[in-house]
């Protein structure tokens, strides 16, 4: 059960918890994850894409992918991730944008759209 909680924290907060013998340390990370599941996953996801078909849900099978196909998918996802990072670097947040984000957070709290800082962090991770 601890492993699932660790993966959930990794996906939600982009932190990886490492437990030493005496204490626990959180490492910040930037990990993108693609979850493929025949039913709703127990792991949190920012976006769900539903596969619709005329077939009965029990008859749907995922194709067996070769190692080469999996490597190609990984390369593609890595390439897309790098392009997103380049775009983010080019559009680096200035102090005006940071001020706007802070004001937006305060307004969302006043309107009770956000209940805690974790919800806001989830929005920032999604936007990233």
* Tens-digit pLDDT string for the chain (128 aa): 788 888 888 888 888 888 888 888 888 888 878 787 767 888 888 777 766 666 666 666 666 778 888 888 888 888 877 777 777 666 665 566 777 777 887 888 788 777 677 777 777 776 66
Question: Does residue 82 sit within a domain?
Answer: no
Q: Is residue 9 part of a domain?
A: yes
Angle formed at CA 127 by CA 121 and CA 128, multiple of 5 degrees? 90
Task: Indicate whether 88 belongs to any domain.
Answer: no
In the block, residue with structure tokens 């009965």: 56
Residue 8 belongs to domain spanning: 1-61
Please say whether the dihedral angle defined by the alpha carbons of residues 62, 67, 73 and 78, taken in this order, is positive or negative.
positive
Residue 28 forms part of a structural domain: yes
Q: Which three-class secondary structure state does DSSP give residue 5?
A: helix
- Number of domains observed in the structure of the chain: 1
Beta-carbon contacts of 53 under 8 Å, excluding residues fewer than 6 positions away, are 60
**Is 20 inside any structural domain?**
yes
């Amino acid at each position: 059960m601890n492993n699932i909680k660790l993966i959930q924290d990794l996906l939600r907060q982009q932190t990886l918890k490492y437990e030493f013998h005496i204490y626990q340390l959180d490492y910040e990370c930037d990990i993108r994850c693609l979850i493929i599941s025949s039913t709703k996953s127990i792991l949190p996801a920012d976006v769900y894409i539903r596969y619709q078909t005329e077939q009965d849900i029990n008859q749907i099978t995922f194709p067996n992918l070769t190692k080469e196909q999996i490597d190609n998918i990984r390369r593609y996802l890595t390439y897309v991730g790098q392009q997103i990072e380049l775009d983010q670097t080019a559009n680096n947040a200035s102090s005006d944008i940071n001020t706007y984000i802070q004001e937006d957070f305060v307004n969302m709290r006043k309107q009770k759209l956000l209940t805690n800082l974790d919800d806001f962090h989830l929005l920032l991770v999604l936007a990233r």
